[in-house]
């Protein structure tokens, strides 16, 4: 039986605050939607933004990210990596976070960590505010440095960086849910490990977040939990 696509709660359903998500943002692609659908929703969303400069900036950021990530795909699938980047940006917009710098950073957040891109390139090409957000989202290479990274993220990161991390984790959890539903036992233990670390690494970031973001994270965790084997560690 085909699983029912996960529909993230709207701002109203989640008890969101004053920030209003756009209609396009609320038409967020579902869990099993194709890259073509994700691209169409994103293209329509950008086209409806009121400021020409923001439309241009977001198109530039996605083009740069797609070029740098190249043929990378999401774990266990042939889904192009850029789909994750767009979904993170769309999740932020659904939460009412539509600043140009934050959405650019969402599209670029893995370029330094996962490609040959340097932080200096991001700073020169997209400005210091975008670069600072990408820097906060760039986890260290050594596993022994991961706990300290999350402690800094919880204690010292600006709210927008924490929101970006939350949106990133929400989409990762949803993607892992789809992966486990599709592949069964092949990824169940790893998914449980990832979920376990989400509890202590990322859930504390939700304390300062708007309620719609908290609901999105907890819902994604709850949707994944029945499908996984519980572990005591995970990759970032």
Domain ranges in the chain are: 26-227
Query: According to the model, what pLDDT value does residue 32 have?
Result: 67
Q: Which distant-in-sequence residues (6+ apart) come within 8 Å of 59 by Cβ?
A: 46
* Structure-token pair, residue 28: 């967020």
223 a catalytic residue: no
Where do runs of H (alpha helix) occur along the chain?
23-26, 35-47, 52-69, 82-94, 100-108, 111-114, 119-126, 128-137, 146-156, 159-183, 188-201, 211-224
- List 80's β-bridge partners, or say none: 73
- Distance in angstroms (rounded) separating the CA atoms of residues 82 and 87: 9
| 203 exposure class (CB count in 10 Å sphere: 0-12, 13-18, 19+) | middle
Query: According to the model, what pLDDT value does residue 28 have?
Result: 56
Q: Which CATH number fits domain 26-227: 1.10.10.60, 3.30.390.10, 3.30.830.10, 1.10.3210.10?
A: 1.10.3210.10
What are the mean pLDDT values of the chain's consecutive 10-residue runs (236 residues total)?
36 37 49 86 95 98 98 94 96 95 98 97 98 97 93 97 98 94 92 96 96 96 90 44
Query: According to the model, what pLDDT value does residue 11 have?
Result: 35
Contact 219/169 with Cβ under 8 angstroms?
A: no
* Structure-token pair, residue 124: 């020169």
114 a catalytic residue: yes
- Other Cβ atoms less than 10 A from the Cβ of 108: the count is 27
* Catalytic residue from among 113, 129, 135, 223: 113
Query: According to the model, what pLDDT value does residue 15 have?
Result: 35
Query: Which of 143, 69, 82, 148 has the alpha carbon at shortest distance from 113?
Result: 69
* Catalytic residue from among 13, 20, 48, 114: 114
Query: According to the model, what pLDDT value does residue 31 have?
Result: 66
């Amino acid at each position: 039986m085909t699983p029912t696509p996960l529909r993230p709660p709207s701002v109203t359903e989640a008890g969101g605050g004053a920030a209003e998500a756009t209609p396009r943002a609320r038409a967020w692609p579902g869990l099993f939607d194709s890259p073509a659908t994700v691209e169409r929703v994103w293209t329509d969303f950008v086209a409806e933004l009121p400021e020409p400069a923001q439309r241009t900036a977001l198109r530039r950021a996605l083009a740069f990210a797609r070029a740098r990530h190249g043929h990378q795909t999401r774990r266990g699938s042939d889904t192009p990596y850029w789909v994750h980047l767009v979904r993170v940006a769309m999740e932020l917009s659904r939460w009412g976070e539509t600043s140009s710098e934050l959405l650019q950073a969402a599209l670029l957040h893995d370029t330094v960590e996962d490609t040959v891109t340097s932080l200096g390139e991001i700073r020169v090409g997209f400005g210091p505010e975008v670069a600072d957000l990408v820097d906060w989202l760039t986890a260290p290479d050594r596993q022994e440095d991961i706990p300290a990274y999350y402690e800094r993220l919880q204690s010292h990161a600006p709210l927008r960086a924490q929101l970006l991390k939350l949106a990133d984790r929400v989409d990762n959890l949803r993607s892992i849910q789809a992966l486990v539903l599709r592949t069964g036992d092949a990824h169940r233990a790893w998914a449980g490990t990832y979920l376990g670390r989400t509890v202590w690494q990322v859930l504390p970031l939700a304390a300062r977040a708007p309620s719609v973001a908290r609901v999105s994270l907890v819902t994604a965790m709850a949707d994944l939990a029945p499908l996984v084997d519980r572990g005591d560690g995970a990759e970032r």
